[in-house]
Each structure stands twice: as C-alpha cells, then as structure tokens.
C-alpha cells in the first residue's frame, strides 16, 4: 500500500500506468500585447495540462496492423478514447468470432460459454503488461522515449496488442476450418506435416507479434523476457485446458449428424425364456472357468464392459481388448467379457450394472486382492453427467456411473486397479475412482467428446491408439498412454473433429506404480503365457 502522505508517491505510480502524465506548460498571457496594454491575467498563471494526443479510429487500426509486420507503431504519446478502446477491441473480437464460425460445418449455434471461457487469459495478460511496463511509463513524462517506442500507456498497448496478432490468427482459424470443410485434403503423412508446420509457424507469428509490440512499451530486456515467458505459459494453458469454441453444431444438425453416422437401425435382441435361462447358465460357466491366482506371481485379471448394443464398434473394441489382455498380459482364463449385442446372447453375459457388480465380486473372490491386478476396460457413449450409456433393447439397461464402479470395487476389496474408460466426457470418472492403488486412463477430459464411436469406425481413436497399437509394443500402461496421445490428436485433426481436442487424461496412484513396474519386468522377461479364449470370447 502506498503512503499517500509521501511526496509524489501516488502521482508517480498510478496515473502514468494507464497513460503518461502530460507535462505542465505555462503560457504567458501578456505575449503579443501592445506596449502598455494591461494584462488580462498574471503572467505566471498556468493554463493547465494539455489533453492527451488523440488519433482517429482508422489510425489505431493501421498502426496495429503495422505491428503485425513487426514495424514500430507510430502512435507516440497518443491514448485511445474510451469509446475507441471499446470499438477497436469489440471489432477485433468480432472478426475472430466470425472466423471461428468457419470451423463448424453445417448449421451452428453461438455458445456463450465457449466464447467466455478463454477470456481469463486476456485479463491475465492485461495485468502482466501493466506490471511489465510500469517503470517505463513512470519515466515517459520526464524523459524522451527512444524512437519507435509508443508511450500511450496501458490503453494504447491494449489496442495495439489486440490488432497486432489478428492477421495470423485469422489465417490460423482459416486453416482449422479447412480441416473441417475439406478433410480429404489432410489425409496422409505429408498433409499432416504441412498442417502442423503451418500451425506452428502461425502460432509463432502470433506470439512474436505480441512480444515485439509489448517490448516497445516495456523498454526493459529483463521485463520483456519475463513477459514473453509468462505470456507463452498463459496462452499454452489456455490452449490445453480451455478449448471451448464460440460455435457448435445446433441441436438439429447434431442429431442429424449422429443419425447419419449411425446408419441403419441395428438388429434387436429377441427376449424369451430360453434366452434368460441360457444367460444364467452362461454366467455360472464363466465364473467357474476363471483361473485361480498363482502364489508368488502378480496375476492380471480383466473385466471388459461394453453395454451399448446398437453400434458394432464397441463389440469389436471390447473383443480386441479382451484378447490383448490374454495375449500380452498373461491373463488367459482370467478375463470376463460383458457385452450387449443382438448376436452374442448365447456367448456373452449381458453388460448390465448388476452383472458388472457380480463380475467384480467374482473376480475379487478368485484373485489375490492384495497383490494381483485387475484391469477394467469400459467402452460406450458418454454423457456430460459422466454416465456410461447402455442399450440392449428391448431389455431395459440402466447406465453405469463412476460412483457405482467405485462402490463395487471397494466392496470387493480389490486394491490394485487399472481402469480405462473409452467414452465422451470420461475425464469425469477420474475424481470418483482415484485412489493410491489405481491407474485411470480416459479417452477425453470431463468437458470434451472423444472420437471414433460411429458405425463406420473399426475402433475408437483411444482404444486403437492405446491398446491396439501401443500396448502391443510395451507392457507399460503409462508409456502406451504417453505415446498414444499425440497420435490421437493428429487423427482428430485429420478426421475434422470440430469441438476441440478430446484431451485424454491419466491418473497414476503412488501405490500402483511399483506393482505395474514389477508386472512389466516379468512380462518383458518372457513371463507371459500362450493365448487362450476369455470367458465369452468364443467368437468375435
């Protein structure tokens, strides 16, 4: 807190940080009067400080665009008026919002949340610039500024920094929009290299334009360096965690797109008493067939859960994961595969919340709950409230929640858990499931969709990259996840995903890490056995 009684303390620190305090000029009122004429006022009277220099609106736009090319803005000590500040900032923002509309193909609706979410970064940069340029602005009134250094204070910086990166930003938005409207152009390695090179160059241009125009106000190498690093960190966090967009498909267009992707109506389960009785007998056979745990060995048990019957991708993916656990993780005879599909009622136990709980209980009774590892893979559609969609009409199946899964695991007393959830918004499962003995991987964060769950998809992007590709090369779940994330990001761009990067998430508990390392060492040393069918995997 400044001492208001200290001479010059308040005046030296406050007004000059928005705009430099104009020098006071004394004007003699006697100048130019005939000899002997009476003066109209004392010669020493002051006419007061002159008003700050003003520029027309178009001049601010012109000088901001000059800064795009790293040329010094010729604004001098000029300060924008409040209405100029508002108009210029809103106009620049409107151009960006209009360009963002190009990133959504088809009818779209404006998302107020998506527009407001990234604005925290602008406020952070405003405060950062105020701090960085404070010393230079305090000296602006008392000493001439170097040539090409504007001295209009924070308001002038705010206007120029809003327009300096505008051109590369608009080109960047056009590039992202091209991936949506012309996705075929970006298929293949060469197209991917071209895209990411252009993306990197444009991003670097935006950052460089901001740093250069800000440096002209700051006039300190140290403070400019701090500003540049902090600005890059703020923008990076915004791109990573706040990927919401101001436009999204409207409800009707989204429903139509989903219907087009789903294709024809899938076959439905035929319910009959023989089917119900066969399910009960199948359950008993599969539980009885579970292999016992082995003394001195960290055994892997698996539970694969695919509750959405209307899309074959979940059937394919869950079968792939079930087979992978047996072949790569020495889990033959120790995997239960719960699946909803019209064609598998006689081979797979239904994926219902009740059967999920029963399967966890059965696995907990067969495994060494203090030393063995349970791997759970869940694949389906996900909702914003983090429920896992279930469908097996005409059978009524309730969705599964992370709280439901956590309760079943705790009740079974299973300590070491690897849980993978391939679904939209699945990042919301991490909080309820996180323990020291749990590793959790999700296909998306809590606010974004994942990709690859349509009828034309062979596997989801997450299941393909993490399990079908990376875990066939390593026995480390963390390594597989780390290598899969950039692949998922690239494939989402190539596929034209319009609502931002899915942003897969991972949580690794402190107590599970030694168990996973010991398992990896055993499997790397050749401790895996031959493949054998899991319970319920007699046919794909």
User: DSSP letters of 380-422?
Assistant: S-B-TT-PBP-BBTTB----B-HHHHHHHHHHHT--EEEEEEE
- Name 475's Cβ contacts closer than 8 Å, sequence gap at least 6: 328, 329, 519, 520, 523, 524
**Residue 458 neighbours by CB distance under 10 Å:** 13
Task: Tell me if 103 sits within 8 A of 176, measured CB to CB.
Answer: yes
CA pair distance 433, 405, nearest whole angstrom: 8
| Residue 449: φ, ψ to 5° | -85, 155
Tell me the CB-side half-sphere exposure of residue 107, using CA atoms within 13 A: 8
- Name 521's Cβ contacts closer than 8 Å, sequence gap at least 6: none
Task: Tell me if 57 sits within 8 A of 175, measured CB to CB.
Answer: no
- Name 197's Cβ contacts closer than 8 Å, sequence gap at least 6: none
CA pair distance 338, 362, nearest whole angstrom: 13
At 88-141, the pLDDT tens digits run 999 998 998 888 888 877 677 888 777 777 788 888 888 998 999 888 877 765
**Residue 230 neighbours by CB distance under 10 Å:** 15
CA angle 280, 284, 289 (to 5 degrees): 150
CA pair distance 146, 185, nearest whole angstrom: 48
At 166-205, the pLDDT tens digits run 999 999 989 888 877 776 676 556 777 888 899 889 999 9
- Name 338's Cβ contacts closer than 8 Å, sequence gap at least 6: 303, 304, 305, 306, 307, 348, 349, 350, 351, 352, 355, 356, 359, 536
Task: Tell me if 439 sits within 8 A of 507, measured CB to CB.
Answer: yes
Tokens read off for 120: 């925290």
Tell me the CB-side half-sphere exposure of residue 98, using CA atoms within 13 A: 8
Pairing outcome for strands 505-508 and 438-442: antiparallel
**Tens-level pLDDT at each residue, the chain (540 residues):** 444 344 333 333 333 334 444 444 343 434 444 444 444 434 433 444 455 678 999 999 999 999 999 999 998 888 999 999 999 999 998 998 888 888 877 677 888 777 777 788 888 888 998 999 888 877 765 556 566 578 888 899 999 999 999 999 999 989 888 877 776 676 556 777 888 899 889 999 999 999 999 999 998 899 999 999 998 888 888 777 666 778 776 655 555 555 555 555 566 777 777 888 888 888 899 889 999 989 888 999 999 999 998 888 999 999 999 999 999 999 999 999 999 988 888 889 999 999 999 999 999 999 999 999 999 999 999 988 999 998 887 888 899 999 999 999 999 999 999 999 999 999 999 999 999 999 999 999 998 899 887 666 789 999 999 999 999 999 999 999 999 999 999 888 888 787 888 999 999 999 999 999 999 999 998 864 434 444 555 434
pTM over cut 0.85: no
**Residue 35 neighbours by CB distance under 10 Å:** 4
């Amino acid at each position: 807190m400044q001492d208001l009684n200290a001479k010059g303390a308040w005046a030296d620190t406050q007004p000059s940080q928005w705009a430099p305090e104009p020098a006071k000029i004394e004007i003699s009122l006697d100048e130019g009067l005939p000899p002997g004429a009476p003066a109209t006022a004392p010669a020493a009277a002051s006419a007061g400080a002159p008003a700050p220099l003003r520029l027309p609106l178009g001049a601010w736009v012109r000088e901001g665009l000059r800064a795009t090319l790293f040329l010094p803005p010729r604004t001098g000590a000029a300060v924008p008026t409040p209405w100029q500040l508002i108009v210029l900032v809103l106009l620049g923002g409107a151009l960006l919002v209009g360009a963002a509309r190009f990133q959504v193909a088809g009818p779209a609706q404006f998302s107020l949340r998506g527009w407001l979410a990234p604005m925290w970064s602008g406020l952070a940069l405003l405060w950062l610039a105020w701090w960085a340029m404070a010393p230079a602005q305090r000296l602006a009134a008392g000493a001439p500024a170097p040539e090409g250094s504007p001295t209009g204070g924070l308001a002038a910086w705010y206007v120029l920094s809003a327009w300096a990166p505008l051109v590369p930003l608009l080109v960047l938005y056009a590039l992202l929009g091209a991936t949506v409207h012309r996705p075929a152009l970006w298929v293949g390695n060469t197209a991917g290299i071209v895209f990411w090179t252009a993306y990197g160059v444009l991003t670097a241009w935006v950052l460089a334009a901001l740093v250069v125009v800000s440096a002209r106000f700051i006039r300190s190498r140290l403070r400019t360096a701090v500003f540049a690093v902090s600005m890059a960190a703020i923008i990076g966090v915004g791109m990573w965690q706040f990927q919401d967009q101001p436009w999204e498909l409207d409800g009707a267009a989204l429903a139509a797109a989903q219907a087009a992707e789903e294709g024809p109506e899938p076959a439905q389960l035929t319910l009959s008493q023989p089917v119900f009785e066969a399910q009960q007998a199948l359950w008993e056979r599969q539980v009885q067939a579970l292999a016992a745990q082995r003394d001195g060995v960290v055994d892997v048990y698996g539970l694969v859960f695919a509750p959405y019957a209307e899309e074959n991708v979940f059937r394919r993916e869950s079968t792939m994961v079930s087979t992978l656990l047996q072949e790569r993780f020495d889990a033959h005879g120790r995997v239960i595969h719960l699946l909803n599909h019209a064609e598998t009622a006689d081979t797979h136990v239904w994926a219902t919340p009740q059967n999920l709980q029963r399967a966890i209980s059965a696995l907990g009774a067969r495994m060494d709950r203090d030393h063995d590892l349970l791997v759970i893979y869940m694949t389906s559609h996900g909702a914003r409230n983090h429920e896992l969609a279930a469908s097996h009409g005409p059978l009524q199946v309730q969705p599964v929640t992370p709280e439901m899964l956590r309760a079943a695991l705790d009740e079974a007393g299973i300590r070491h858990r690897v849980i993978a959830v391939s679904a939209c918004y699945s990042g919301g499962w991490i909080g309820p499931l996180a323990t020291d003995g749990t590793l959790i991987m999700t296909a998306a964060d809590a606010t974004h969709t994942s990709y690859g769950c349509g009828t034309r998809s062979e596997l989801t992007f997450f299941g393909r990259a993490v399990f079908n590709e990376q875990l066939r090369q390593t026995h480390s779940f963390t390594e597989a996840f780390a290598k899969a994330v950039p692949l998922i990001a690239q494939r989402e761009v190539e596929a034209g995903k319009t609502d931002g990067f899915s942003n897969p998430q991972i949580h690794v508990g402190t107590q599970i890490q030694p168990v996973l390392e010991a398992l990896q060492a055993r499997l790397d040393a050749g401790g895996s056995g031959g493949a054998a069918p899991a319970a319920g995997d007699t046919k794909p």
